[in-house]
């Protein structure tokens, strides 16, 4: 796989390169002429990939400053961003340096946001190390941090110069993190491609590298097609938020005890339920979606009971909300979302929303 795409925002070229065994490669994707790099990662990925990559870059005569933070969604904050920026300033990294974001979506969202504002913007490259990162978070240029009010509320769209995907980096990924990436893949099939949904409707073996590479490439193609069609998220890009209006609220309310993917899987079911109740999605298709979510073993039990009021309060700050009224992406059928006059999201009657959040929390409701 070697796919070059063009995104409308500067910098204009993003490369998605399949680069097996990255750590043993000649790192040809690094920008020519740049000698000083800030490598941002988390402390778990630092040991697995960050330090060996730094060593390899130093062998090539490059200057690499590695900065890491404690892993986890709870660290994706303005405070961590500021700490990283101060460390970079202390290392005298200037506008002539380049940032490498190496890790899962938490690292790449946060490090991308650092790159966007550091010295008014420096170039950066992304090396995703989670499945979720490879199929979703590294693509489309969204960067940002969470606040106590909710997920990803502060940020900017700032695409990297290159995304370097090496599926062999996934060997060490824990099962729960693997499943998290599968939630976004299921989402991609649901919003855009029924045949692809069918293909991944049952879990596939992790060790089949050829198959895995093909599936990652398919996901990249879907995400890139949607983001290129609507880079500023005025319409069709919102479809990538299927399951996320509910999902983000659950993630926030759980204090990030729920992983992003696990929360999105529940969100997909709830928003599928809304789609059926509003007369759009055939009920038998929701059954197929449930079977798929269950086949992947997503835990559907919430860490505690959430009241409708607290879920709604959280959703009022969702970026699709209008006048603080949450809006939802709904399915017409597997493979297609509803357009709602090009808005690709709609408000839902309060009573139905209450019913859906009750359904979500009934024992076995979503099974």
Ligand X SMILES: NC(=O)c1ccc[n+]([C@@H]2O[C@H](COP(=O)([O-])OP(=O)(O)OC[C@H]3O[C@@H](n4cnc5c(N)ncnc54)[C@H](O)[C@@H]3O)[C@@H](O)[C@H]2O)c1
**Minimal distance, residue 7 CB to ligand X, in Å:** 13
**Segment near ligand X (CB under 6 A); pick from 55-63, 93-101, 165-173, 273-281:** 165-173
Segment interacting with ligand X, rule: CB under 6 A, options 101-109, 203-211, 228-236, 295-303: 101-109
**Residue keyed to tokens 């709830």:** 270
Q: At its nearest, how many Å lie between ligand X and the CB of residue 108?
A: 7
Selecting among 54, 151, 248, 320, the annotated active-site residue is: 248
Q: Compute the distance between CA of residue 183 and CA of residue 94 in angstroms, rounded to an integer.
A: 38
Nearer to ligand X, 151 or 280 (CB): 151
DSSP class of 296: T
User: What x-and-dash track marks residues 50-89 binding ligand X by CB under 6 A?
Assistant: ---------------------xxx--x-------------
Say which residue the tokens 């490090």 belong to.
111
Q: Which sign does the torsion angle of CA 52, 53, 57, 58 carry?
A: negative
Distance CA 113, CA 105 (A): 12
Task: Tell me whether residue 85 is one of the annotated catalytic residues.
Answer: no
H or E element at residue 313:
helix 308-315
Among 50, 104, 159, 243, binds ligand X (CB under 6 A): 104
248 catalytic? Reply is: yes
**Contact flag: residue 167 with ligand X (CB under 6 A):** no
Q: What is the rounded CA–CA span in Å between residue 252 and residue 318?
A: 11
Q: Judged by CB under 6 A, which of 85, 136, 166, 262 binds ligand X?
A: 136
Strands (E), the chain: 2-6, 13-18, 36-42, 63-69, 98-103, 124-128, 142-147, 150-157, 162-165, 331-333, 336-337
Site size for ligand X (CB under 6 A): 31
Q: Whole-angstrom Cα distance, residue 199 to residue 309?
A: 38
- Binding segment for ligand X (CB under 6 A), chosen from 172-180, 211-219, 296-304, 313-321, is 172-180
Chain residues binding ligand X by CB under 6 A are: 42, 44-45, 48, 71-73, 76, 103-107, 109, 129-130, 132-133, 136-137, 140, 142, 151-152, 169-170, 172-173, 177, 180, 260
């Amino acid at each position: 796989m070697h796919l070059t795409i063009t995104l409308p925002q500067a910098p204009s070229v993003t490369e998605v390169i399949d680069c097996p065994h990255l750590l043993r490669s000649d790192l040809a994707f690094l920008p020519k002429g740049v000698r000083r790099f800030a490598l941002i990662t988390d402390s778990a990925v630092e040991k697995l990939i960050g330090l060996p990559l730094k060593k390899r870059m130093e062998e090539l005569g490059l200057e690499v400053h590695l900065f890491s933070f404690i892993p986890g969604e709870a660290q994706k904050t303005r405070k961590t961003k500021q700490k990283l920026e101060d460390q970079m300033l202390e290392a005298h990294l200037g506008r002539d340096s380049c940032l490498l974001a190496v890790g899962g979506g938490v690292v790449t969202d946060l490090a991308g946001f650092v790159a966007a504002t550091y010295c008014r913007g420096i170039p950066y490259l992304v090396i995703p190390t989670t499945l979720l990162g490879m199929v979703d978070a590294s693509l489309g240029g969204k960067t940002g941090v969470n606040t106590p009010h909710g997920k990803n509320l502060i940020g900017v769209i700032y695409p990297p110069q290159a995304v370097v995907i090496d599926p062999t980096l996934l060997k060490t990924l824990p099962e729960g993190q693997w499943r998290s990436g599968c939630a976004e893949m299921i989402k991609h099939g649901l919003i855009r491609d029924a045949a692809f949904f069918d293909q991944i409707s049952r879990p596939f073996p992790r060790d089949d590298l050829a198959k895995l590479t093909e599936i990652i490439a398919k996901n990249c193609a879907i995400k890139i097609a949607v983001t290129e069609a609507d880079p500023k998220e005025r319409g069709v890009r919102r479809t990538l938020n299927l399951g996320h209006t509910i999902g983000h609220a659950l993630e926030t309310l759980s204090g990030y005890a729920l992983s992003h993917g696990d929360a999105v899987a529940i969100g997909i079911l709830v928003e599928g339920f809304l789609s059926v109740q509003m007369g759009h999605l055939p009920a038998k298709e929701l059954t197929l979606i449930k079977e798929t979510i269950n086949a992947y073993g997503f835990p559907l039990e919430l860490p505690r009971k959430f009241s409708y009021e607290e879920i709604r309060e959280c959703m009022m700050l969702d970026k699709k909300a209008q006048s603080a009224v949450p809006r939802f992406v709904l399915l017409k059928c597997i493979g297609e979302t509803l357009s709602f006059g090009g808005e690709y999201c709609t408000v839902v009657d309060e009573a139905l929303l209450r019913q859906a959040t009750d359904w979500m929390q009934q024992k076995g409701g979503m099974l």
